[in-house]
Amino acid sequence: MSNQPKYQQPLSAIYTELKTDEHGLATADAKQRLEQYGKNALNQQKTTSILQKFIAQFKDFMIIVLLVAALVAAFSGEVVDAIIILMVVILNAIFGVFQESKAEEAINALKEMAAPDATVLRDGQLQTVKSDELVPGDVVSLEAGDIVPADLRLIESASLKVEESALTGESVPVEKNAATLEAGDLPIGDRLNMAYMNSNVTYGRANGIVVATGMHTEVGRIAGMIEAADETTTPLQANLTQLGKSLTILILVIAAIVFGIGMLRGSESLIDMLLTAISLAVAAIPEGLPAIVTITLALGTQRMAKRHALVRKLPAVETLGSTDIIASDKTGTLTQNKMTVEKLVVNQKLVDARTTELPIDSHLAQVMILSNDTKIMTDGLAGDPTETALIQYNLDQGYPVDQLLADKPRVNEVPFDSERKLMSTVHPLEDGRFLVAVKGAPDELLKRVTQVETDGTVSPLTKPVRDQILATNHDLATQALRVLAFAYKVINVIPETVNTDTLENDLVFAGMVGMIDPERPEVEQAVTDAKSAGIRPLMITGDHRDTAEAIAARLGIIEAGNDAAVITGAELDAMSDEQFDKQVSQYSVYARVAPEHKVRIVNAWQKRGKVVAMTGDGVNDAPALKAADIGIGMGITGTEVSKGASDMVLADDNFATIVVAVEEGRKVFANIQKAIQYLLSANLGEVLTLFMMTMLGWQILAPVHILWINLVTDTLPAIALGVEPTEKNIMKHQPRGRNSNFFSGGVFSSIIYQGLLEGGITLLVYWLALTYPVHATASMAHADALTMAFATLGLIQLFHAFNSKSIHESLFTVGLFKNKFFNWAILIAFAMLAVTIMVPGLNSLFHVSHLDAYQWGIVVVASLSMVVVVEIVKFFQRRHMRQA
């Protein structure tokens, strides 16, 4: 086939190339071509079974490390530890499968959108065939209400309008015609002689020749882009993978050192040193971390669902919190996706439509209603969005629309025509005469106007008045308003021949309306909130430049008149990738763009290390939604394709919900960071204690001690940190960005000093108990020292959990007891620790002795000192941050 775009080729060339004509194909020829080209259907994406999804959860590096640890523990006799680790891993996998099983397949959703049947000319006769049997060369007939079944080059068109918002982002149906276009590189929305697969016919009729089917259509091209898009790794996944690798190396090094030194000293057997090394591994691995992360994310998804943000993939919760850029589609996301009358020109004055009520006998209102093809249904209005907006305005004003239509039924008309850009209807009056109601493009209508109505008085239309009307029309158009003019006249009889020449002349100008797809009322504040959080909102739309710029200025995305911040798809095409990558930060509004442009924009920001969230509702948004770090689909107006390609869906289509979700994401990250700081500092304390006791030749804590401490402190308290309330001013901070990790913001240094502090305090208590024993015998003194070290190591971690309620803020500022779940978690954990020492039978099972009040006093005071020291360090950290 020719490489020249079909919209540029004359019909004769297309007929020759496809070996057909305006009468279509023969049935036998169509059957042969079906075998040659294949079915007019999109490739169906391979489905993944529940078992495959479950197995895929075990590919994570941290999970593999934990599985190895479970095997080592099981072969070493630590069966309980192995079971706990396996339970954590399985729980994590179940959560992951549960979330991913909710996903709709994007390619299959595209297939579901396709028209089931098509009206086609075969053997010179109109036939109804299944749309997947269409082939290039077929001639398809279109009428209002049809879904376009393939990509068509129009042969003939009668007032055809096609709604292409799913492909282009434009909310207003496009007027089509069959004329050959000369311009090259036209965006989809400007290809007026083409009708594309899965778009909707809203008005008129047409015939078109099939020029592309299946995966060769524009929708098929988008499906291919979705299929080819790589899955992005979220910051959370990258952080956890890096953390797992670092911990594994650290664990192996420490265990090897301890094992080697122990064997060199010769005081311990091979089995004893192997158990010691395993104890170190058990102490160092935060086996509860995957479950804590998963549970924190899952609880975050529940809270977000209550606020209308539905998460399809768990890591998306946290990714939102690191978002730098929100690239948003305009239609249906920033705007309401419905045309609304905003301005009126009545009595030669420009007024706000929302605060102006037209008189009951207003000719402007009457023409708006009568020269209109909108159908008033029980469940709403049906018709062209521009026309339904006119009816809706009058209904909102309380105008008796139904009564007017009943009193003045349409008896004749001159239908809308894209060349003359007018529509006229004729209606009977009570005195036997007829009202001609005309609407259309202001410049075309004014050519047929001779008079103007002002405050009920009709006077000749003078040149100054005409110039004023045209100037007002221009001003409204520059504000991205769609302007329609209205006129009327009264005639005694209907002409024998009703056409534009006999009816549309000597008209009386009644007024104009300016309509727009208005911004959602909550979005302006959401944009302000996003900016205050350091997030840059972008508008990406298929709409015209002027419309996009006007809406962006009204929302605060750009300053009014900042034309340099706006770029079109054609201008983007003229730039190389290197040039665009350098200049991407200059642009905040992208107009008249194609799907590949959106992906290019997302990729350009990602190259700068930015975390990009992309919102959208149309088929054309799907590739970019998948390419973005987090794709956000619209639940109400969104296509199943866009929802299927998204990580999160907004149930209320409310842009403001994204800001809420970002706050929740930041909270989730902060809480996971708190849990990681708590777990790793506690585990470092355990490792340091075991390491130093081994080096000093002291009686070492047994694996059962470490296991129990981990069970007590690494579960409930750490999970409780994951549900801490949101800290104040969390949305006043700059995004942490792609390069940040869980150790950023002073967390790594805190883990080190806090772990050293925990281990040091524990060793100090052990040394005090040995140096100043309560019991005279050495064996009992060792037993008491070991018990006090065990109690201190456990209790100090529980007190440290209070420190971890905030990375930098004071415990007393955050609040001691605001988190009820945390309070219960600490109480339960303390009880679990205490019973092993206090309950007869259990203390012998755990190889610990009974402590008296004096010994408990030392343990409690030593453990509380952790809180005091950390509070002092935090005080100096906050002062340093303020000075910086």
Q: Say which CATH number the domain at 266 has.
A: 1.20.1110.10
Residue 5 resides in a domain: no
The DSSP annotation for 770-809 comes to HHS-SSSSHHHHHHHHHHHHHHHHHHHHHHHHHHTT-SSS
**How does the average pLDDT of the chain come out, rounded?**
83
* Phi then psi dihedrals of residue 511, to 5 deg: 150, -175
Nearest C-alpha neighbor of 681 from the set 647, 723, 651, 721: 721
Separation of alpha carbons 698 and 713, rounded Å: 24
Name which of 231, 214, 234, 232 is nearest 223 in CA terms: 214
Separation between Cα atoms, residue 477 and residue 549, nearest integer Å: 12
Q: What is the pLDDT of residues 239-272, one digit of tens each?
A: 666 776 777 777 777 777 777 777 777 666 666 6
Q: How many domains does the chain have?
A: 5
Strand ranges for 596-744 from DSSP E: 612-616, 630-634, 648-650
Instruction: Looking at the structure, tell me whether residues 324 and 355 fall in a common domain.
Output: no
Q: Which of 403, 426, 430, 407 is nearest to 415 (CA)?
A: 426
Q: Is the model's pLDDT at 232 over the cut of 70? A: no
The pLDDT tens digits of the residues spanning 592-632 come to 887 678 889 999 999 998 999 988 776 777 788 888 888 88
Burial degree of 492 (CB within 10 A; 0-12, 13-18, 19+): exposed
Question: In this predicted structure, which of 63-77, 376-390, 407-421 has the lowest mean pLDDT?
Answer: 63-77
- Is the same domain home to 184 and 131? yes
* pLDDT score of 454: 92
Look at 67-71, 204-208, 434-438, 645-649 and tell me which has the smallest mean pLDDT: 67-71
CA distances from 251 to 128, 255, 677, 683 (A): 70, 6, 17, 11
Are 845 and 766 in the same domain? yes
Residue 371 and residue 274 share a domain? no
Q: Which of 329, 373, 714, 784 is catalytic?
A: 329
Note the pLDDT tens digit of each residue in 495-527.
Answer: 999 999 999 999 999 999 999 988 888 889 999
Q: Is 329 a catalytic residue?
A: yes
Q: For 408-522, where are the alpha helices, taking DSSP H only?
A: 442-446, 463-478, 500-503
Look up residue 183 and give its two tokens. Answer: 């311009």
Residue 64 has pLDDT above 70, yes or no: no
The CATH number of the domain holding residue 611 is: 3.40.50.1000
Q: How confident is the model at residue 105 (pLDDT cuts 50, 70, 90)?
A: very low
* Whole-number pLDDT of residue 122: 92
Look up the domain containing 612 and give its range: 319-336+520-659
Tell me, yes or no, whether 44 lies in a domain. no
Q: How far apart are CA 346 and CA 362, in angstroms?
A: 10
User: For residue 851, which amino acid is it?
Assistant: L
The pLDDT of residue 580: 94
CA distances from 774 to 206, 839, 852, 857 (A): 100, 20, 9, 13
CATH of the domain at 29: 2.70.150.10
**Percent of the chain beyond pLDDT 70?**
85
Single-letter amino acid, residue 667: K
On whether both 502 and 384 belong to a single domain, the answer is yes
45 domain residue, yes or no? no
Which CATH number does the domain housing residue 412 bear?
3.40.1110.10
What is the C-alpha to C-alpha distance for residues 546 and 550, in angstroms, rounded to an integer? Answer: 6
User: Do both 793 and 878 map to the same domain?
Assistant: yes
Does 43 map to a domain? no
Query: Is residue 732, in this structure, part of any structural domain at all?
Result: no
Dihedral sign (CA 500, 502, 506, 507): negative
More confident of the two residues 468 and 657: 468
Write out pLDDT tens, residues 753-791.
999 999 999 999 999 998 888 766 777 888 888 899 999
Rounded to whole angstroms, the Cα distance separating 859 from 387 reads 79
> Quick check: helix, strand or coil at residue 870?
helix
List the structure tokens of 841: 């039978």
pLDDT of 581 over the 60 cut? yes
The whole-model pTM stands at: 0.68
Q: Do 369 and 429 have their domain in common?
A: yes
Q: Which of 601, 631, 659 is the last residue of a domain?
A: 659
Asked whether residue 101 carries a pLDDT value surpassing 60, the answer given is no
Instruction: State how far the Cα of 83 lies from the Cα of 659, in Å rounded to an integer.
Output: 41
**Taking a C-beta distance cutoff of 8 angstroms, is the pair 194, 6 a contact?**
yes
Question: Is residue 816 a part of any domain in this protein?
Answer: yes
Read off the pLDDT band of 66 (50, 70, 90): low
End-of-domain residue from the set 195, 228, 261: 228
How crowded is residue 2: how many other Cβ atoms within 10 Å of its Cβ? 11
b/e burial code for range 585-599 (CB count within 10 A of at least 16 → b): eebbbbbbbbbbbbb
Q: Can you count the helices (H) and strands (E) in the chain?
A: 34, 26
When mean pLDDT is compared across 226-235, 301-310, 406-415, 623-632, the lowest value belongs to: 226-235
Dihedral sign computed on CA atoms, order 221, 227, 228, 231: positive
Of 538, 501, 787, nearest to 548 by C-alpha is 538
Same domain flag for 216 and 243 = no
| Same-domain status, 720 and 795 | yes
Report the pLDDT value the prediction gives residue 281, as an integer from 0 to 100.
Answer: 67
Percentage, residues of the chain above pLDDT 90: 34
Q: Does the structure show a pLDDT above 90 at 292?
A: no
Weakest mean pLDDT among 47-51, 323-327, 804-808: 47-51
The pLDDT tens digits of the residues spanning 333-373 come to 788 878 899 999 999 899 999 888 888 789 999 999 999 99
Query: Is the same domain home to 250 and 286?
Result: yes
Token pair listed for 60: 């994570």
B/e letters for 681-700, b = 16+ CB within 10 Å, e = fewer, are bbbbbbbbbbbbbbeeebeb
**Residue with token string 């504040």:** 525
Residue 275 domain-assigned? yes
Per-residue pLDDT band for 432 (boundaries 50, 70, 90) equals very high
Query: What digits encode the pLDDT tens for the residues 13-31?
Result: 999 999 998 888 999 999 9
Based on the fold, state whether residues 748 and 678 are members of the same structural domain.
yes
Of 176, 199, 228, which closes a domain?
A: 228
Dump the DSSP string for 358-414: --TT-HHHHHHHHS---EEETTEEES-HHHHHHHHHHHHTT--HHHHHHHS---EEE
Do the Cβ atoms of 869 and 753 come closer than 8 Å? no
- Residues 294, 288: Cα–Cα separation, whole Å: 10
Q: What is the DSSP letter of 635?
A: S
Check the CA dihedral 719-725-728-732 and report its sign. Answer: positive
Could you give the CA distance from residue 609 to residue 430 in angstroms, rounded to a whole number?
A: 72
824/257 Cα distance (integer angstroms): 39
**271 and 149 within one domain:** no
Predicted pLDDT of residue 320:
83
Predicted pLDDT at 109: 44
Is residue 42 domain-resident? no
pLDDT of residue 110: 38
Nearest to 451 by CA among 477, 474, 469, 473: 469
